[in-house]
Each structure stands twice: as C-alpha cells, then as structure tokens.
Amino acid sequence: MTETIIRRLENRHILILGFGREGKSTLNFILNHKIPCRLTVADKQEPDKMLLDELIQSGVDFLFGDEYLNWESEFDLIIKTPGIPSSLISKELRSRISSQTDLFLEAYGFQTIGITGTKGKSTTSSLIHHILVQSGKHSLLTGNIGIPCFDIVPEIKAETTIVFELSAHQLEFIRHSPHIGLLLNIFPEHLDHFGDLASYAAAKCNIFANMHEGDTLIIHSGLKRYIPQNFSAKPVFYDDSQAKITAMSLRGRHFEMLARAAILAAVHKGVSEEIALKSLATFAPLPHRLEPIGPVDGVMFINDSIATVPEASLAAIEAWPPTFLILGGFDRGIDYSLITNGIQGSDIPFILLTGLAGQRMGALIEDAFPGKTTFYFEKLEEAFEFIAGKACEGHTVLLSPAAASYDRYRNFEHRGDRFRELAFRFKRKNPGS
C-alpha cells in the first residue's frame, strides 16, 4: 500500500512543516522513494551544517529560524508535524494540512489498531503489541510511542497488525481512521494548544470520526456521549469486559482497565482471550508510568512522572498508597480540587510540593487539611534530603506530580530520570528506624 502514499505526494508542491524526528522521517520517505515533487522544509530550529548540506545536495528548499512561517510560495500540501501548533497556521491554509499519520492511515488503516486517550495510551499500545507478539502474530508498534509510522513501512507485510499510539496532536487533522480504534479516556490536557476541552476532545474523537461499517471502536462507557447517533462502526465498552484478570505485572485499577481494553483489541484481531490473559504476566511496566524502583535502603520509590493531570495522580495514589507524595511543577491552570478530594480518602503523612502548580495545590491542601505536613522544594535533591530524614523501612515515595515538568525539566522523561537517579543513591539518615 506504499503506492497509496506515493500517489498522494507525487507532482505536488509540498511543505514539511516541522523538522524534528517525524519531519525528517517524512523527508527520508520522499527522497528514498524518489517521489517527483517540489519540496520545502520549514522549522524554527536550524539543523546542523551536515544536515543543511544534505538538503542543499538533495535540491530541497528550506526556511529555518524565526521567519519559518513566512512563506512566499503557495503549497498544494502542508505535511504538519505534531509539534507545530495549529494556531500558527491561518484558517485559509488548514484545508491543505495533512500529516504523516493521515497519509499512513489512508494506506494502512485497515491493518491498524489505533490507541488514544489522555492517559494510558503508551501502556495500552505496548500491551496490545506484547499480546500479539506472544500469540505468534506479526505486530509493529509505531506512533507517539517514539517511532514515526513512515519508518516501519518497509517491515509491513500483508499479515502485519500495526499498533499505532496516537496523540491529540496527531489526530487533529486526520481524515482517516484505523480499523480498530481505542479511546481510553479524556481529561483536561494540552489546553494551551487546543484552547479548551471541547477542541481537545474533538481531536481525540477523530480516531473514530471516519470509521465505517465493519470497523470497531473500543471506548469507555463514560465517553459514549461523544459517539454520534449515526455511527456506523461497532462500539464496544471496555469497562463492561468480564475478562478475569488475575496475573498481571501492573498494579492498580487503572492498569486493570487498560488491560481490559488491550485484551478486547487483541481478541478482535483473532487472539484467544486465554492467551491474551496469560500474556499479561510477562508484560513489563514502561518507564515513568508507576515504575517501581527498589526497595532502596528499605524504601520503595514509584516513578509516575508521566502523571501530568490530577486524574492520573489519583489512580497512582490508589495503586501505591504513599508515605511521601511528590506533587507540582509547571502550572497550566488545571482545576486541582480533585487532588484534595483524593487525599481526603488516603492517609498520606507527607506531601512534598514544587513549582507554581505545587504552590496552588498546597494552598488547597492546607486549607482542606489543617495540620497536614507539607514541604515546599525547588529541586528534587531538597525533597530527597527531607525524605531521608524521615523515612523508615517499608515506606513508599510516590512521584506523581499532576503537573507538567517544563518549568524545570525538558519533559516528563527528564524529570523521571532524575527521580530514578536520586532513588538509586538514596540513604536513610536513621537506618535503624
């Protein structure tokens, strides 16, 4: 089906808007397949000299730097990467926007299981892929998990199942849907990009907006209001699943629900429920997603740096009731009243807070629970120093911030990596306690 993508691109005047991992992947696909087209690359960040020389030698036009959106040419097709905010593009040009994701789904959507949701999509995608591989099926994992979909095209066979993790940014402008789509949940997230929850939810719902009869939507019943009345595909509610999940390496009700969704997807691809259930026991948690570290000097550390909304942190608190809960970071204006509701049902002795989001959460917590021990810190090292002085054997430290990381870190992975480094070096000040 590569020919389908080629036909969409040949003899066009194309702008690749964004030249990160996915933009480079798109360029390589076009050059490797020698697709006849006029090609321009644009990005705010200028590449290194070697890559710049390669663009010149390949005859590719480019526009880098602060003026990267000031195009003098008219483009037939704009292939936008997820990192470029759509707000930067005029409404007149939006009809010309496509993406690697949409071009891929047009060609391979009938072989694809697509997974989206505010939280849990990476774990669910990886789990589906794991189940399919364990059952002997040929499966390829791609998408927001970190593998551009054009990069896997050479590996696709007629019998391949493609497991595609899809972010709201990837879904925003698509006009095609996967054969099987999973919509796990919708919480307020990325509102700085989408403006409001309705626009964000609409992007998520694009995963099934172009489904047809014979396609399957696996969705939480709490989201059924998003399904249109004239929906021609088959909706299946994963929270109604009766699968008896007993042996699972992942802990907590949140992961159990994700496992139910993953099993349903695998069953719809011909895997028996029995084999799918057995596969759960050999699945390893992904980094930064309720990732257990330790015990180290008698203390268990849980790295849940991926938790950037209150709903995710509440699920983490339920799965790993903490002695020390680390919250806070960059403040995006999220409603944090849920945090106080969750803490009300949990006996958490110590709450450690950072950033403007932590200050706002701390004010709510201190108002709701006078006398609750809170500690404010700038750097994680300060938090670990506090924990070292009070931790006893058997205690649990949970990093589940309910906030973004980019006030101090590049991303949630950077934050989680630092937490892991400090955890491995941890020593209690009172080891006899």
Q: Which of 282, 302, 324 is the last residue of a domain?
A: 282
- Which pLDDT band, with edges at 50, 70 and 90, does 422 fall under? very high
Domain assignment present for 341: yes
Edge-first strand order for the sheet with 373-377 is 291-296, 299-303, 396-399, 324-328, 350-354, 373-377
The residue ranges of DSSP E strands in 158-317, in sequence order, are 161-165, 180-183, 216-219, 234-237, 291-296, 299-303
Token pair belonging to 356:
């403007």
H or E segment and range at residue 326: strand 324-328
Which residues on adjacent β-strands are paired with residue 77? Answer: 14
Rg (CA), the chain: 23
Q: Which residues contact 31 (CB under 8 A, 6 or more apart)?
A: 58
Q: Which residue has the higher pLDDT, 286 or 90?
A: 286
In-domain check, residue 431: no
pLDDT digits (tens, 9 = 90+) for 246-263: 877 788 889 999 999 999
Return the CATH number at 150. 3.40.1190.10
Number of domains in the chain: 3
Within a domain: 246: yes
d(CA 247, CA 10): 50
Mean per-residue pLDDT, 217-226: 97
Mean pLDDT for the stretch of residues 152-166: 98
Residues 34 and 93 in one domain: yes
Domain edge (last residue) among 247, 282, 317: 282
358 and 381 housed in the same domain: yes
322 and 251 inside one domain: no
389 occurs within a structural domain: yes
Q: 49 with 193, same domain?
A: no
433 pLDDT band, cuts 50/70/90, is low
Q: Is residue 433 part of a domain?
A: no
Are residues 253 and 108 located together in one domain of the fold? Answer: yes
pLDDT of residue 88: 84
Boundary (domain end) residue, out of 46, 67, 98: 98
| Residue 367 pLDDT exceeds 70 | yes
**Which domain covers residue 305, as residue numbers?**
291-424
Residues 6+ apart with CB under 8 A from 48: none
Strand partners, 251: none
